[in-house]
Amino acid sequence: MNQTPKISDDAATASLEPIIKDAPLPTETPPARTPSWIDRLAQPILAIPLLSAVGALMFIANLGSYPFYTKGEPREAVTVLAMASGGGVILPMRAGVELPSKPLLMHWIAALLSMLAGGVNEWTVRMPSALFGLAGILVCYCYVRRLFEDRAAFIAALMLATSVQYLQSATGARVDMTLTFFLEVAFFEFLLIGEGLTRRRILLYVAIALAILAKGPVGIALPAGVALIWIAAQWRWDLLRDLRLARGTAIVAVLAGWWYVAASIIGGRAFIEKQLVAENFVRFVGAANFHEGHAHAFYYLEGALAAGFLPWTPLLALVFSRALRAPRRVDARLIYMLIWIGVVLGFYSLSHSKRGVYLLPLYPALATIIALYIVDAIDAPAATDRLVGFFASVYGAVLAVVGLLAWSGVAMMFLMPTAMTSLFRLVGVAEVDLIGALHAEASSHVVLAIAMPSPIAIVGIYLFRSKASSEKLTLAISAAMIFVAIGANSIVVAATANTLALKTFAADVLKAIDDHPVGYLLDMNYDVAFYSRRTIPIISFKDSNKPDYLICVESIWEQHLGNVQNEYQIIMTSNPTELDGSDRIYLLKKNSAPVTPTTPDTNV
């Protein structure tokens, strides 16, 4: 087994770099074999265009054709809108009334795209995540190829792109994909430095600084934690000197620190308490009066990771099996990948606030480890040929069933919508308008709706019936996920968004209130804020001079708090914002307010 020597002398590193730059060093010498199609496919001349096409199809196609329908996306969008509307770029007030809760790198990029596109919309706000998602899979390929070998790089990039959580994050207007991209660069770049594969240092620190500007101090905490543990495990304390920490600290301080200083000056104590204290310290350790932030048990994230890394999670069994029966040498690079996964998972497991998307920065390392063992199974299949055959049969059967069920669903939607409504109710989907929205989207993409289930089923049948191999298993799952993602984004996600979004409701509210004052009762609704393009204050029960109109969440109205139900009446009701038919939004009108001709007479 070959091992790249550790090089600490800059001159020696410089002389070796031209040799190792274009000749990735495998961690073990595979047996001699005839080059196969997977070798040719994994070469940069084919792999980079293929991965770029996969990313574009999965992340960018249909990106802006449906409205915001979750709380998170419009919450980021109103910040972008504030920037584009002259609200400042250092600390714009969210919807005119709230401080932003995260640093603004993603928002700056979205605002720039909005300026180029001529306005803020769903496409421009989601595009940073899509672009960084695409860049992330290409970066994964390039770094893994440099550190290991071509086939592992291509497989790891495919697995990363087609995992459920990565796909979801690359098509959503949230800051997590921006953070993940720069952390990925920082993690990989440090390993290149540690293994003597590069003389550059500035990229590591620039990536850390931009990760901080994406989501805060976690951008330096995670890379520093992984680096220190790996240095200690490898007893590489000499690397601390080679990292040029003083220069790196200055780079990070200048590139990331300026914004915190400027925002602290503008926002004062309110900014410090929200961004630095509440969003970082309190969200991590928890507090009795802190009720936001997805509190879960310590072990919650393991389940979230298993679900988010689908459809690849079961292949961890292949890794464990080969680790026992045909282990590869645990060298410094593989140890680094394991530490990378462990630090990210452990850090967020200790946090009071837990979400599956927080683990996204470990996905490149997890994909790399599984890809390495898949390559081992390609080169030496005997140790796990039965397990690969089992997985080929199971995945093939599942994909065939998924394809057939999708085609049946399309047929039912056109031919038996009532029966489909009943089936939806059995799984808790009570919003009947979803069927109509699905029908409308399928009708506008009729060729896609009819044709898309077929390749999924065909891939499944092929996988089930053909001779099993690790490379065919990997490529078949990837191909099926690409078809699933295209169909889901074009029809299912778009229909769900059109069913739950408040875009139409916001337009109707503006017509109803005309130029009368309006406020949110206790809690802002970011959908209404974005689509109304209007600054609306938040009103509490203690306010003596309440406006003529209030926008109120259904749950607040039903609590019978204050004297609101005596002072106001419901004049407009939104569509549900959850698929179970709940969480509607009300437009309330003060009983003593003058009659407005444009106010609807019936609920919407």
Give the pLDDT score at 285.
64
Listed residue (471, 366, 368) closest to 153, CA to CA: 368
- Predicted pLDDT of residue 367: 97
Q: Which residues contact 478 (CB under 8 A, 6 or more apart)?
A: 54, 158, 159, 161, 162
The one-letter amino acid code at 497 reads A
Q: What is the pLDDT of residues 419-432, one digit of tens each?
A: 888 888 888 888 77
Beta bridge partners of 353: 295
| 19-33, 72-86, 410-424, 544-558, range with greatest mean pLDDT | 72-86
Last residue of a domain, one of 241, 264, 291: 291
Instruction: Give the pLDDT confidence score for residue 546 in this predicted structure.
Output: 85
313 domain residue, yes or no? no
- Which residues make Cβ contacts (< 8 Å) with residue 378, sequence separation at least 6? 38, 151, 469, 470, 471
Q: For residues 404 and 407, give the distance between their C-alpha atoms in angstroms, rounded to a whole number.
A: 5
Token reading at 541:
């029960």
- Does the pLDDT value for residue 442 go beyond 60? yes
Distance CA 504, CA 531 (A): 8
The answer to whether 519 and 568 have CB atoms below 8 angstroms apart is no
- Judgement on whether residues 440 and 493 belong to the same structural domain of the protein: yes
Closest C-alpha to 483, from 40, 41, 61: 61
> Is residue 371 domain-resident?
no
Overall average pLDDT of the 172-185 stretch: 96
In this structure, is residue 433 part of a structural domain? yes
Q: What is the DSSP letter of 311?
A: T
In 3-state terms, what secondary structure has residue 234?
A: helix
Q: Are residues 91 and 214 located together in one domain of the fold?
A: yes
Boundary residue ending a domain (500, 517, 534):
500
What percent of the chain is modeled with pLDDT above 70? Answer: 89
Confidence grade of residue 3 (pLDDT, cut at 50, 70, 90)? very low
Please tell me whether residues 475 and 511 are part of one structural domain: no
Which range of 293-297, 474-478, 574-578 scores highest in mean pLDDT? It is: 474-478
Establish if 361 belongs to a structural domain. no
Pairing outcome for strands 568-573 and 549-553: unpaired
Q: Is residue 87 part of a domain?
A: yes
Total count of domains within the chain: 3
Is residue 68 within 8 A of residue 501, CB to CB? The reply is yes
State whether 518 and 409 are in the same domain. no
Residues 445 and 515 in one domain: no
Per the domain annotation, does 280 fall within a domain?
yes
Last residue of a domain, one of 276, 291, 306: 291
User: Which residues have CB under 8 Å from 134's CB, separation 6+?
Assistant: 52, 55, 56, 59, 60, 170
198 and 141 inside one domain: yes
Interatomic CA distance for residues 69 and 91, integer angstroms: 25
Residue 459 inside a domain? The answer is: yes
Same domain for 128 and 229?
yes
Cβ(103)–Cβ(178) below 8 Å: no
CA distance 583 to 431: 11
Nearest alpha-carbon partner for 147 in 312, 423, 335: 335
Contact 223, 190 (CB under 8 A): yes
Q: Using the 8-state DSSP alphabet, how is residue 94 labeled?
A: B
Strand partners for 553 = 585
Contact 232, 225 (CB under 8 A): no
**What distance lies between CA 440 and its chain's CA centroid?**
27
Asked if residue 567 and residue 518 are part of one domain, the reply reads yes
Burial track 12-41 (b if 16+ CB lie within 10 A, e otherwise): ebeeeeeebeeebebbbeeeeeeeeebbeb
160 and 263 within one domain = yes
Does residue 9 belong to any structural domain of this protein?
no
Claim to verify: residue 476 and residue 535 sit in the same structural domain: no
Quick one: 517 and 580 in the same domain? yes
- DSSP code string of 208-267: HHHHHHHHSTHHHHHHHHHHHHHHHHHT-THHHHHTTHHHHHHHHHHHHHHHHHHHHHHH
Q: Are residues 488 and 546 in the same domain?
A: no
Q: Which residue has the higher pLDDT, 35 or 415?
A: 415
pLDDT band at 281 (very low <50, low <70, confident <90, very high): low
91-100: average pLDDT: 87
Structural domain boundaries enclosing 482? 388-500
